Amino acid sequence: MGELLEALRRNRDAGICPMHMPGHKRNTALFQMENPYGLDITEVEGFDNLHDAHGILRRAMDRAAALYGSAHTWFLVNGSSCGVLAAVAACTHWGDTILTARNCHKSLYNALYVNNLHAQYLTPPVLPGFEAAGGVTPQSVEEGLRAHPEAKLVVVTSPTYEGVVSDISGIARAAHTHGVPLLVDEAHGAHLGLAEGFPQNAVQMGADLVVQSVHKTLPAFTQTALLHLNGDLVSPRAVERQLSLYESSSPSYLLMASIDSCVSFLTEQGREAFAAYGDRLHRFDEQAEKLRWLRLMGRCGDKSCRLGENGVFALDPSKLVFSASKAGLSGPQLAEKLREAKIEPEMASREYVIAMTSLCDPEEHFRRLADALRALDHPFAAPRCADSPAAWTLPAQSMTIREAEDSEGTVLRAADALGRVCRETVFAYPPGIPLIVPGERVDGVFLDRVRRYRTAGVSLVNPRGDAAETVDVVR
């Protein structure tokens, strides 16, 4: 038995409540599969070819398109990252400009590097007290396209990791007025638009390209995702060409079967499953209403995330985002206390913790989380002051990401790098949103954010793995 398999079994048997992805939540009462070794195959007769699908895989992808209402849908077995890379490449040429929200996943920044793209950034406001990004507004997109008429693509993330949904219909109208396609990274929203009580998804709201991770919030294996296409601004053949470059030429039939089974489950049982899920979320909210020292973002009386303010068009109720600043705890400290109660959250940022739920969470998961939060609902120290800015100030751009990374570099202590052009990306991970990207100058705001994140215990990642104690800069 391999070491990793042993560790997975120990984790399974440890009684840990998984308030994190994948969305199937290891719910073996709902989903089962026989020994996968007996099912694993390649492109043999009768099983089609993902990159030239005309048979069983084409029918499976058409069923997914029918569920979401898209004109074209492709299975992704390299995660949403593969879809973002292919979608950006299908809409741009070497050296083009795109208009993108700054709070996009690192896969978008990889696309900027691979295609040597110039990025003009949209900076969502910061939700007060949580230091999380709000939404992107149609007005900011309209202003960005007027200022940069050369932009070939608009990219936004909606919902965010924290569940903030932007006005995608308005953004799509703004982009289309300028003849520009809209790509929505909806990796965290594959469950949206499928039932009452949840916001519409980006396909329904008029986006041209939509990437969804079915594994994050729905019952499918990790690494599974979908890419949807609507409208006539982007060629399906261009998308397929790029998928042939970025997606494995030997896709796992187990992963593709997982997507198809998920789509079948949603088509046949989704209405009842979502209704029961909504009831469980409602009962949890009733319990959370009683909390005094812990705050649930945008719910239970919390006013930090009001609809219509800070770009918040809607909220995804599946994301439970808690702050314990009133109780004197940082996000990582709250996460550690939840782990002591055998609850593993999705992620911890400086000011909050995310508990990710799905329709596969049984009542017991919500009960255990509510019990743990009630036990933690008291002061641990003096209240923390969440000194979140109204909006992030971005470092000045001097080069494209590609130009900076391809330049000769030198590694300096972070404090000594002030004013130098950065050659690497520094992420708070998860969620993989960069504090600085190659081509931007190291400034005091970046150094202060690094200090504050490290002090709070948030994981910072750069390619060299030293948690931003040093910075690789252009020589």
Where is 347: in which H helix or E strand?
strand 347-348
CB atoms within 10 A of CB 448: 10
Reported residue count of the chain is: 475
Sign of the alpha-carbon dihedral angle for 146, 151, 157, 158 = positive
Could you tell me what percentage of the chain is helix, strand and coil, using 3-state DSSP and rounding each to the nearest 5?
A: 35, 20, 45
- CA–CA separation, 141 and 139 (whole Å): 5
> Is there a contact between 162 and 188 (Cβ–Cβ < 8 Å)?
no
> Is there a contact between 162 and 349 (Cβ–Cβ < 8 Å)?
no
- For the stretch 232-267, what's the b/e string if a residue is b when 16 or more beta carbons lie within 10 angstroms of its beta carbon? ebbeeeebbebbeebbeeebbbbbbbbbbbbbebbe
- CA–CA separation, 246 and 334 (whole Å): 38
Q: Say whether domain 401-474 belongs to CATH 1.10.760.10.
A: no
181 preceded by cis ω (within 30°)? no
**Upper half-sphere CA count for residue 325 (Cβ side, 13 Å):** 19
pLDDT the model gives residue 386:
62
Question: Strands 433-436, 118-122: parallel, antiparallel or unpaired by DSSP?
Answer: unpaired
Alpha helices in 222-362 (DSSP H): 236-246, 253-288, 331-340
**Tokens standing for 309?**
């303010």
Q: Which CATH number fits domain 38-261: 3.40.309.10, 3.40.640.10, 3.40.1010.20, 3.30.420.10?
A: 3.40.640.10
Task: Identify which of 395, 401, 411 has the alpha carbon closest to the alpha carbon of residue 469.
Answer: 411
Sign of the alpha-carbon dihedral angle for 103, 263, 29, 40 = negative
- In order, the DSSP letters of 174-201 are HHHHTT--EEEE-TT-TTTTSSTTSPPP
pLDDT the model gives residue 133:
93
| Residue boundaries of the structural domains of the chain | 38-261, 401-474
What are the C-alpha distances in Å from 375 to residues 78, 222, 404, 415, 469?
40, 32, 50, 41, 36
Contacts of residue 406, Cβ cutoff 8 Å, sequence gap at least 6: none
Sign of the alpha-carbon dihedral angle for 168, 174, 177, 182 = negative
Where is 214: in which H helix or E strand?
helix 214-217
Q: Kindly give the confidence (pLDDT) of every residue in the chain, 475 residues in length, as a single tens digit, with 9 standing for 90 and above.
A: 799 999 999 999 999 999 999 999 999 988 888 899 999 999 999 999 999 999 999 999 999 999 999 999 999 999 999 999 999 999 999 999 999 999 999 999 999 999 999 999 999 999 988 889 999 999 999 999 999 999 999 999 999 999 999 999 999 999 999 999 999 999 999 999 999 999 999 999 999 999 999 999 999 999 999 999 999 999 999 999 999 999 999 999 999 999 999 999 999 999 999 999 999 999 999 999 999 999 999 998 888 889 999 999 999 999 999 999 999 999 999 999 999 999 999 999 989 999 999 999 999 999 999 999 999 999 998 888 766 666 678 899 999 999 999 999 999 998 899 999 999 999 887 677 789 999 999 999 999 888 888 888 888 888 887 777 899 999 9
pLDDT the model gives residue 52:
96
Return phi, psi of residue 211, to 5°: -110, 130
> Is there a contact between 207 and 175 (Cβ–Cβ < 8 Å)?
no
pLDDT the model gives residue 29:
87
The reply to whether 401-474 shares the fold of 38-261 is no
CB atoms within 10 A of CB 226: 29
Q: How far apart are the first and last CA of the chain?
A: 48
